[in-house]
Amino acid sequence: MPGIVILGAQWGDEGKGKVVDHLAASADVVVRYQGGNNAGHTLVVGGQKTVLHLVPSGILHPKTRCLVGPGVVLDPAVLAREVKALEARGLLDLRNPGERLVVSQHAALILDVHRELDQAREAVAGGRIGTTGRGIGPAYEDVAGRRSVPARALKDPEDLRARIAAILPEKNALLAHYGRPTMTVEQLMAPLLEAAPAIVPLLGKVGPLVEAALDRDETVLFEGAQGTLLDVLHGTVPYVTSSHTTTGAVCTGTGIGPGRLGRIVGLAKAYVTRVGGGPLPTAIGGELEDRIRAIGQEFGATTGRPRRCGWLDLAALRYAVRLNGITELAVTKLDVLTGIGPLRVCVGYRRADGSETEEMPIFPEELETSAPIYRTVAGWDEPIHLARRFEDLPRSVHEYLELIADVAGAPVTIVGVGPDREATLVRARG
């Protein structure tokens, strides 16, 4: 059976964790393939909140094996903390950790100096991009620069020390350039040596494990982080993250071929949100935006920053469907729009020269001079958070979903109507 990809079709924070958690109930393997601890999933199970930044959401299902691919950048201290917290909750047995969680030995480490550089650059630029400050960009720069420190170096402190000593002088020159204190090799080593005992037993080769699971006909889910519009090349550059967030990254970030993929599920919130810098053309503004932010609890799981909220952008979604080869859509947080009144939906853009386009113009220069074309739909007042089947949803919700499928160009097969595990509804196939 081919693998199932679940990725964000907007600017991240589409509620991937919850949908992955739902599908993981019948999955054998869940794989993360890009990003790092700039992501964060808040899962509510039995009223208990769990926030995960690196470990795939599937870990909450006792039979699911979780893998972290070589395309992920790893902050060892964060991973060690998650591993210990999961152990304390009885979700990971540290006597046999690799049984449930395997981390690629090739994944690049995020060092403290990456975080320093990330924050220094943001400070100089006045927070222009609004990164999460977790060192993600500088760590990926080192991957592209062929000088990153792979996770397997944690097995051998001397190797680790030599690799760090080789790259630190250049980093210190950069820190000095930004007026920041320079760092020593031992300073960078300390957190790594502390985290290593929790991580080394997890290290392995992720690509072959995925191939073997697919060969055994197991169900493998690939869990994306961030979203399509934050892709380093295809997103709203420069206001993006530093990894590819689109479907191709599943293959490169895991180490498997494209023939291994089947369903590509694109996640979209029933509205849009954005955290950090960059354009949000359908921003709602005013009191209504504040209301949606409060109802939807739109604050970053990683940084706690308030997210900007906008009307659903179907022109952006159409772009995401085409770019990723999305075969079906999951629409989350529909319940947040209950009682909001007439809803506006962006169905295209009008450029400065008066021409219209059905897809969001992606370059900032073009996007900033284009205006969303809206359609207004009725909305609904009925509470929908207790719905447990598609058929339970009111007519006006179905109409909203039909509009999404029509304009974006892919069927809606999953919807989220509330924070509980049971509030994810799957359309019956057939």
Q: Please identify, using beta-carbon distances, which residue of 163 and 307 lies nearer to ligand IMP.
A: 307
Q: Which of 43, 230, 412, 417 lies at the binding interface for ligand IMP (CB under 6 A)?
A: 230
Q: Please identify, using beta-carbon distances, which residue of 59 and 240 lies nearer to ligand IMP.
A: 240
Which stretch in 43-51, 65-73, 123-131, 418-426 sits in contact with ligand IMP by CB under 6 A? Answer: 123-131
Q: Please identify, using beta-carbon distances, which residue of 305 and 395 lies nearer to ligand IMP.
A: 305
- Judged by CB under 6 A, does residue 129 bind ligand IMP? yes
CB of 134 to ligand IMP, least distance (A): 5
Closest among 390, 403, 242 to 311, alpha carbons compared: 403
Cis peptide bond upstream of 238, omega within 30:
yes
Q: Which residues of 25-49 are buried (b: 16+ CB within 10 A; e: fewer)?
A: eebbbbbbbbbbbbbbbbbbeeeee
- Judged by CB under 6 A, does residue 424 bind ligand IMP? no
CB of 278 to ligand IMP, least distance (A): 6
Which residue is catalytic, options 22, 41, 106, 234? 41
Q: Which of 31, 79, 136, 175 lies at the binding interface for ligand IMP (CB under 6 A)?
A: 136
- Judged by CB under 6 A, does residue 38 bind ligand IMP? yes
Closest among 423, 356, 342 to 384, alpha carbons compared: 423
β-bridge pairing 108-109 and 272-274: unpaired
User: N- to C-terminal Cα distance for the chain?
Assistant: 19
Q: Within a 10 A sphere around the Cβ of 353, how many other Cβ atoms?
A: 7
Q: What is the residue-wise DSSP string for 126-181? A: TSSS---SSSHHHHHHHHHTT---BGGGGG-HHHHHHHHHHHHHHHHHHHHHTT--
- Binding-site string for ligand IMP from residue 258 to residue 297, where x marks contact by CB under 6 A and - marks none: -----------------xxx--------------------
Which stretch in 106-114, 235-243, 279-287, 333-341 sits in contact with ligand IMP by CB under 6 A? Answer: 235-243
CB of 241 to ligand IMP, least distance (A): 3
What is the CA angle 294-296-299, rounded to 5?
70
Q: Round to whole Å and give the CA distance between 159 and 153.
A: 6
CB of 52 to ligand IMP, least distance (A): 12
- Judged by CB under 6 A, does residue 163 bind ligand IMP? no
Q: Which of 34, 131, 254, 332 lies at the binding interface for ligand IMP (CB under 6 A)?
A: 131
CB of 112 to ligand IMP, least distance (A): 15
Tokens 């006792």 -> residue: 62
Q: Which two tokens stand for residue 110?
A: 């995020």
Q: Please identify, using beta-carbon distances, which residue of 266 and 276 lies nearer to ligand IMP.
A: 276
CB of 99 to ligand IMP, least distance (A): 28
Which stretch in 43-51, 239-247, 317-325, 382-390 sits in contact with ligand IMP by CB under 6 A? Answer: 239-247
- Judged by CB under 6 A, does residue 228 bind ligand IMP? no
Q: Which two tokens stand for residue 255?
A: 């180490």
Helical packing angle, 157-177 and 185-199, nearest 10°: 130
Helical packing angle, 112-124 and 185-199, nearest 10°: 120
Q: Which of 104, 226, 282, 424 lies at the binding interface for ligand IMP (CB under 6 A)?
A: 226
- Judged by CB under 6 A, does residue 241 bind ligand IMP? yes
Q: Please identify, using beta-carbon distances, which residue of 277 and 348 lies nearer to ligand IMP.
A: 277
Contact call for residues 416 and 333 (beta carbons, < 8 A) = yes
Closest among 407, 406, 224 to 313, alpha carbons compared: 407
Closest among 139, 62, 54, 15 to 418, alpha carbons compared: 15
- Judged by CB under 6 A, does residue 130 bind ligand IMP? yes
CB of 118 to ligand IMP, least distance (A): 7
Closest among 183, 194, 203, 198 to 114, alpha carbons compared: 183
Q: Which of 58, 137, 207, 348 lies at the binding interface for ligand IMP (CB under 6 A)?
A: 137
Identify the three-state secondary structure at position 264: strand
Q: Which two tokens stand for residue 245?
A: 């967030």
- Judged by CB under 6 A, does residue 223 bind ligand IMP? no
Q: How many residues bind ligand IMP (CB under 6 A)?
A: 21
Asked if 41 is an active-site residue, the reply is yes
Backbone angles phi, psi at 64, to 5 degrees: -90, 135
Contact footprint for ligand IMP (CB under 6 A): 11-13, 38-39, 129-132, 134, 136-137, 225-226, 230, 239, 241-242, 275-277
Annotated catalytic residues are 13, 41
